[in-house]
Structures are given as structure tokens and as C-alpha cells.
Chains A and B, each alone.
Chain A
Amino acid sequence: MADLEKDLHTEHMVINMGPSHPVTHGTVKFLVTLDGENIVDMKVDIGYLHRGFEKMCENGTWQQVIPYTDRLNYVSPLINNVGYALAVEKLIGIEVPERCQYLRVIASELSRISDHLTNVAAGGLELGAFTAFLYFVEARELVWDLIEMLCGARVTVNYVRIGGLKNDLPQGFQDKTRAVFKEVRRLWSDVDKLLTKNRVFIDRVRDVGDISAEEAIAYGFTGPCLRACGVPYDVRKAQPYLVYDRMDFEIPIGETGDNFDKYLVRMEEIQQSMKIVEQALSRLPDGPINLDLPQYRMQPKEDIYHRIDSLIFHFKTVIDGIKPPPGEVYLAVEGTNGELGFYLVSDGSGKPYKCRVRPPCFALTAAMPRLMKGRLIADIVPTFDMINMIGGECDR
């Protein structure tokens, strides 16, 4: 056999997987060196969705950044909104009213549900389980209906404001949530039956893309991918923000960090997030949703139209932007893929001096070559999907 191979002229095949390829979602390129079907080497090229997020932020006022954050992780825009608003509030040194905090928790968790639903659905789709994909897309549709009811938009939500929220909970939101969650749970169990014990699915995802906890930490893994390795790190528990410390929920963890564990962790987190939303809705306190600090949060429209001081504040904050004190803060929230950090530097003016986002899937995508070397080309599919690289967030 060895002699045979010596005379046989073979060479590695280099193929460009992406950016226009079904598995890469049009946002990334893998330069894969193949020996037959085995991956010898892999290079990852990102940046196809780079839009200069930071440069845009530096040239707009603090409030104008919020719509940009929608476009970071466009599958869970509300969490980005919340993270940015919290970071700016930390920079200013203010804390929003309790009702607002509860509403932000609800918004974040709805976003998390929709993200995990999308991710698991896409995972199924790319492995050929088209039915599971459509079940979860239907569930996501329902969650998006809720989000639409909450803030009037489905994807580019622009819901959170510095020092408050765009609007309070709409009427009938509780009932609608109950109805939607009932349906989501039904679809969840359908997909659970379709995938979790499906031998073909398990064969495809088990022991693929596995990584040890130490290595995952060194690579900067966070979120479901780190938890799948058995590290119970979740910003919501480690450094509770908003009112997560009052919520009763659990952090699911895996063992081996392979794609199956990532899948299971995400499936369980959907359930936990629904639990959090239900708790938050049942404990929702009355009160204002906005801070009464006109230099940071716009007053109600009636006041602006009828009171001169409100009008002046409105004018000043809109034209000049709000003015946090000079300084720098880093604030992390638990994004859907992991730690979503905002590092803000203020020079005391109305524009951010620096608005840096720590994108969780940036670190995850960087580990793709480590996860894929020596594997088969078909393994790229589930691994890349469970990494859940979101172009808008990774490339900014």
C-alpha cells in the first residue's frame, strides 16, 4: 500500500468555501486545503459585512448609536440595545427605574429565544432536516410577533433608550405571550422529537467540533459554546445586571463541547429564557419606565410641547447629544453567543470618543481552524452552524 502511494502523484486541493456558499451564509470565506475529503488546513476570511460600526458611532451622538447596535447581531437586536444602553448608563452613573429593568430583561430574553430558535433551525436545515427548520422558523415568527407588538419592528427594533425605553408594555402583551409560549413549547417538543434522538442527526453532530474547557477558555469562548464544554459561565449569573439576580433560572452546561452539546445547551436555554420572561411578566412592578433626568432621557412629548425647560433640554440633547462625564467603562451582558461587551470612552462631548463592541462570535469564529483541522469537509457544516457566527456582529 505504501509503495503504491509513493508512485501515485497526489496533491492537495484548495477550495474557496464562500463567501457565496450555502454554509457560510454569505458572510465568511473558508480557504480549505483538502486531502480527499479531509481538511488539512483551513483559513478563515471575515470582513465581508464590515460597515465601520465604530467609525459611525464616533461620528454620531450617543443616542444615535442605538439603531446601529440593532445591526450588530441582527438575530437578537434587543440584547445589543440593552447592552449599549447599560454601558452608557454605567458611564453616566445612573440606574433606570425598576419597571424598565424588568422590561429590558423581558426584551433580552425574547431576543435570546429568537436567536436560539434560528440557530437550531439553521443547524437542522444545513444538515438536511428541512422540516425541523420550518418548525422553528414558525416559532421564531411567533416570537417576532411578540417583539413587533412590543416595539413596532421585528428585526431593527431600536427599542431601548439611554435612561429608559421607547415605550411601555402594550396592552394584552401578557395574554399574547402566554399564547405564543404555548405554541413555541409545542414546536420545541416537535423539534426535540425530530432531532434530539435522531440517530442520523446525532451521528452528524456528536464528537464533531469538540474542544476541551481549557482550550475553549484560552480561545476566549463564551456563551453556549463555552457552557457546552462544561464551564458554567454566564454573565447573567456571574455578574448579574438588571434584575437577573431576582430571576429563578438555570444555566445548562454540556460535557464535551461538541456540536451535540452546543445544540442541547441552546435547546435548554430556550426553555430557561421562556421561564425568565414568564417570571418577569408576573412580577412586573408598576412605575415609570424612564428616568426623570431631562439632560439624559427625553421628557414626554406633552412636556416638550408645553414647557420651555423640557423643550430646551430636548433641543440640547438632540442637537448636541447627551454628555456623559469623561471616562471609560466596560460593560458585559450575556449576548446570545456569549459575552457581549461594550467598551466606551467619553471625552465629555456629545459623541462617543470610542465605542468598542466585544463581539462574542469573533473569538468563536477564530477557533474554526482549530475545530476543523483533520476533520471531513462535511463537518464544517454543523460546526460552523453551532458556532453561530453572525456576520453583522463579527464584522461590525
Chain B
Amino acid sequence: MDTNVTIKKLSHRFPGAIIATHSFRGDDTAVVNKESILEICTFLRDDQDLLYNMMMDLTAVDYLGREPRFEVVYHLYSLKHNRRVRIKAGVSEADATIDSIVAVWVGANWFEREAFDMYGITFKGHPEMRRILLYEGFEGHPLRKDYPIKKRQPLIGPVN
């Protein structure tokens, strides 16, 4: 079946890096090893049968109490084949880093900054890893599940 070609090709090409796959409600998903995320993304973008030339969305999810705690989620889309795939990479709390994919899709720049802003996951090799939606001086990462809803932030003033 055509829809599964991405998962098949991925598992074939990176047998060691694919941890799990599923297709819940028709969304092809591959959980991958975070070490090989850059390779996998490059492969997904350049392989002639896949050609995932658009990085639609990049976000993270905090599964507090699970190991690895975070999941960085990539939603890719192939204009040529009109196909979508979801790639997930687990990131542990102790080593909350993952390779940046800005080199693969330049549009990932701000999305990675947002993930860093909200979850505190550092993207290695990102050209400008700083907060984007929140301000410098904001304490904590608000979308982590252990960030209290009613937490108060310290008052900041002008830098000068």
C-alpha cells in the first residue's frame, strides 16, 4: 500500500534507528532515535520516492513521568507525492538536546526556537538558540507539565 511506503523505506534504510512505527487514524508515524535525526531528515527530504520537501511543523510534547520525558515531533509533507509523515524523537530530561535540522529545512529555525522556548530542549547547531515568543529573563519553560499554571514571573525592567 502506498501510504506505508515512507515507514517501509525508513525501516529498511535505518533499521537500528527506528524504534517504533504506527499509523493511528492514518497518520504515518515513526519514532526514531534522536542521534540519527539529522540523517533521517536528510534522507526523507532527498529520497526520490519520498521527497519530503516541506517541514510543516515542529513541536515537542512533555510526557512527564515517562522516559524519555520529551518527544520532539516533526510533521513533514511531500508536495510531489502529496503525503505526510510524522517523525518523533525521544529526548530525555537529563540530556535535553537534539540536533538542529535548520540545515535541512531552513524554515525549521523559528519552530526550533519555539520548542526551546516552551520546553527547554536545546537544538544543537542552531544558528540562534534563544527565546522567541517569551522574553529574555523569563524563568522556566511554560509548556512543561510541571510548570505551575499560576506561577508568577519576576518583574523585569529596561536593560539600561
Contact = CB atoms under 8 A, between A and B. Distances in A.
In-complex A–B contact (CB below 8 Å) = yes
A343 B57 contact: yes
B142 A362 contact: no
Nearest to B147: A55
Interface size class of A (residues with CB under 8 A): 35 or more
B75 A358 contact: yes
A218 B86 CA distance: 18
Interface residues of B, number: 36
A213 B84 CA distance: 20
Contact of B61 (A231, A354, A367): A354
Contact of A329 (B25, B55, B108, B134): B25
Nearest to B142: A55
Contacts of A219: 106-107
Nearest to A59: B149
Contact of B57 (A58, A231, A330, A353): A330
Contacts of A54: 118, 143
A217 B57 contact: no
Interface string A339-364: 10101010000000110101000110
Tell me the dominant secondary structure on chain A's binding face: mixed
A47 interface: yes
B56 A358 contact: yes
Contacts of B59: 343, 354, 356
Interface string B25-56: 10101000000000000000000000001111
Given A47-B132, A239-B82, A330-B27, A218 B73 contact: no
Nearest to B79: A233
B105 interface: yes
B143 A47 contact: no
Interface of B: 24-25, 27, 29, 53-57, 59, 61, 73, 75, 77, 79, 82, 84, 86, 105-111, 114, 118, 131-135, 142-143, 147, 149
Q: Which 4 pairs, one residue from A and one from B, show the smallest C-beta to C-beta distance? A: A220-B107, A47-B133, A358-B57, A366-B110
8 contacts: A46-B133, A47-B134, A220-B105, A328-B24, A330-B57, A354-B59, A362-B110, A363-B111
Interface of A: 46-47, 50, 52, 54-55, 58-59, 90-91, 93, 217-222, 231, 233, 238-239, 327-330, 332, 339, 341, 343, 345, 353-354, 356, 358, 362-363, 365-367, 395-396
Given A47-B133, A329-B24, A354-B61, 8 more contacts: A50-B134, A55-B147, A91-B25, A327-B25, A329-B27, A343-B75, A363-B107, A365-B110
